[in-house]
Copies of this chain bind each other. A is one copy, B any other.
Amino acid sequence: MITPKRTAPEPTVVRLPTYLQCLRRLEAAKVATVSSAELADLAGVTAAQFRKDLSYLGIRGRPGVGYDVQQLSASIAGALGLTGMHSILLVGAGRLGAALCAYPGFEQLGFRIAAAFDTDPAKIGQRLGNAEVHPAHELLKINARLGCRIGIVAVPATAAAGVVDEMVRAGIRWILNFAPTRVPAPEGTVVRDVDLTHELEVLSYYMTLACQGEASGQ
């Protein structure tokens, strides 16, 4: 049996949240219909790319008319799995972890940080947003009850690999890693590394390039 290709290319997947964001803004503005040209413009891509991206999801519009904003918004939200509430587990109740727990944007999209963990006894019992801070060694036990499948790592670099291992043992297979170190994804898991220092370094690269150009009269 031939299995149809199930997943869109990663560049497409990464653009979907932007499309959804634009569509929700249009919904809020009571816009009923949008063409690929208009939405692509809002999202900063070409119309052809936008239509191609939708084709991977099997989403169709109406030739000559465009796309129904509410319907398209719901379809993309569906593809992203944004149905109901997803409970998330966070390890590392430092400043960044605390900021993430209090982040209002997550709740709006259906993500709730249900529990936080830390090794620092001073932090245990604190409340961060919805989450209470638990001792790190209770992760396995507590997630047996919560059943979170998405985890956020917000610990120092040295602790990251161990935390990922423990998460995987607890059944968490989709992980967002803010620790400033690459974590190789264990078999069958998806790890997205978000390294804030890397982003500044990339900016610094382009700044250096531009300033060398300046200096040499370019």
Contacts and interface: CB of A to CB of B under 8 A. Distances in A.
Task: From A43, A79, A198, name the one whose CB has the most chain B CB atoms within 10 angstroms.
Answer: A198
B79 A180 contact: no
Contacts of A43: 182
Given A98-B99, A103-B96, A106-B200, A205 B6 contact: no
B81 A44 contact: no
A161 to B, nearest CB: 13
Contact of A182 (B21, B82, B100, B102): B21
A156 to B, nearest CB: 9
A174 B80 contact: no
A20 interface: yes
Interface residues of A, number: 62
Contact of A201 (B82, B100, B197): B82
A181 interface: yes
Task: From A100, A195, A208, name the one whose CB has the most chain B CB atoms within 10 angstroms.
Answer: A208
A74 interface: no
A70 B200 CA distance: 22
Interface stretch (A9-17, A46-54, A118-126): A9-17
